Structure 1
Amino acid sequence: MEERIQHLLAQISALQSELRTELHQREIKLFYRITGKHIEFDEAVGKVHRELKVDLVSWMLSSRPQNFLAAPFVYGLVFPLVFLDICISIYQAICFPIYGIAKVKRADYIVMDRWQLRYLNFMERFHCAYCEYANGLIAYASEIAARTEQYWCPIKLARKVLGTHARYERFLMYGEAARYQAHLAVSMHCASRNRSARTCPLNCTAGEKPLRSLEVQSTSRPPSSMRSWCTAYRPRRGQTDRPLQH
């Protein structure tokens, strides 16, 4: 059952990645082309964009008064967002090298290119830039938190929770104590390579196998390297060696 679930998860992940790639390529072919940092449309499309642009005065007159009242509360969040950006980046810069976790590339999550759309007026571009930054920052911080969780506590919650990250589905089931230490070592090792737990092979030498049920010889904490993990543990007496399922 466990192997079947992991196989299905791997297939879903691969299909989602393939679908995103195909949709993106289709959008590029139909609408625009990317040249360095610039996004270019065909001349005919660009002309239509400029014609559809609503001038700033008309846009403000057509806006609901409630929107202006809510603006300070919306844009006041820029201060905690910038503070989060600074703090999470400092945390990653200091702690990830210590843990050996692969760093999250900020530019992969905070992308701001809607300002190049000619059918948006100044205020619409401003709104879009704010949304790009806020949502990109949350995704960036979420990935840093996800890799931290994968490294330190790769255990599912007992209760159902919404909005889990992509790595969560490969965490260990709640209460599955027998496999915790082995799974934690795998998860730590894979976090350093930016790979999900149970999809990353261990670096054990010939004749050594990571085990499903393990007994600690000298310490209850995982060793610092996968090489020492493979040699620091042995199966309980009378148990049959069974490979750890990734």
Structure 2
Amino acid sequence: MQNTPFDDALRQLRLLQREFDAELDRILAEGQRRFRYTVQRGRVVFEQGMRSLHLQQRTGLWRYLRSTPLAFILTAPVIYGLAVPMVLLDLALMGFQQICFRVYGIPLVRRRDYLVIDRHRLSYLNQIEKLNCVYCAYANQLLEYAREIASRTEQFWCPIKHARRSPDAHQRTPYFVDYGDAEAYTNELESLRDSLKTEGD
């Protein structure tokens, strides 16, 4: 099968993604050196003295609340009201995977790979800021986790590109068959399913 310009662009995109990941790893390592911490068994450990420095820079609760606009405080229940549906989504995703993915032979998405929540351990954040950081991390990373589960499901059941492009299609989309190509759908559905089942081997 001959390479198309799209195949070449996809190959370049994968190469750029690897370069981006390597640069991000370099930046994270530089941050570890600069701010003197290491990650040990998934837990961040700062060098002695950094915690004291961080505590000196923390804004006290009373000062923080006094400087917060009233409108921000009044919208807090709206923001935190989404906690219940998010927890329900989390539970539903776990159940969905355990039942459906095992039946279909799709590798499970490891929740711990997506839900990385660690900013609440920073001593320069007060209790409200820590709570906000936990909430934001959980919300955003739960959606990343959900997106990966949904994209694996889509690849198994309906790996067809859309006629119109969305702003941020998931990473599996370029491998789906073209919209309107009935022959490719019939011929490639099983191979797309099989490639999904062997992910991580």
Partner of 2:103 in structure 1?
Answer: 98
* Cα distance, 1:22–1:44 mapped onto 2, change above 3 Å: farther
Match of 2:146 among 127, 141, 146: 141
Overall identity of the aligned pairs, in %: 37
- Deviation of the 1:2 alpha carbon: 4.7
- C-alpha distance in structure 2 between counterparts of 1:141 and 1:179, whole Å: 28
- Deviation of the 1:19 alpha carbon: 1.9
1:152 aligns with 2:153: no
Specify the code of the residue in structure 2 equivalent to 1:7. Answer: D
Match of 1:163 among 158, 161, 168: 168
Partner of 1:205 in structure 2?
Answer: none
Specify the code of the residue in structure 2 equivalent to 1:25. Answer: R
Structure 1, 36-45 or 116-125: larger mean CA deviation: 36-45
Partner of 2:77 in structure 1?
Answer: 72
Partner of 1:111 in structure 2?
Answer: 116
Note the 1:200-211 alignment, pairs <5 A: none
Note the 1:1-150 alignment, pairs <5 A: 2-31=3-32, 32-43=37-48, 45-150=50-155
Specify the code of the residue in structure 1 equivalent to 2:193. Answer: M
1:183 aligns with 2:188: yes
Is contact 1:154–1:184 with CA below 8 Å preserved after alignment? yes
* Deviation per residue, 1:127-170 (Å, 9 max, x gap): 00001111111111110000000111111111121221111122
> Residue 63 of structure 2: SS of its match in structure 1?
helix
- C-alpha distance in structure 1 between counterparts of 2:63 and 2:192, whole Å: 55
* Number of aligned positions between the proteins: 195
Specify the code of the residue in structure 2 equivalent to 1:54. Answer: T
- Deviation of the 1:44 alpha carbon: 5.0
Structure 1, 30-39 or 149-158: larger mean CA deviation: 30-39
> Could you say what the CA RMSD is over the residues aligned between the two structures, in angstroms?
1.8
Is contact 1:104–1:143 with CA below 8 Å preserved after alignment? yes
Structure of greater relative contact order (alpha carbons < 8 Å, 6+ residues apart): 2
Unaligned runs of 5+ in 1: 196-246
- Deviation of the 1:61 alpha carbon: 0.5
Partner of 1:220 in structure 2?
Answer: none
Larger radius of gyration: 1
Is contact 1:6–1:170 with CA below 8 Å preserved after alignment? no
- C-alpha distance in structure 2 between counterparts of 1:16 and 1:92, whole Å: 28
- Deviation of the 1:118 alpha carbon: 1.2
> Residue 166 of structure 1: SS of its match in structure 2?
coil
- Deviation of the 1:178 alpha carbon: 2.0
Structure 1, 164-173 or 43-52: larger mean CA deviation: 43-52
- Deviation of the 1:45 alpha carbon: 4.1
- C-alpha distance in structure 2 between counterparts of 1:2 and 1:158, whole Å: 22
Q: Which runs of 4+ in 1 moved over 3 A?
A: 1-4, 42-48
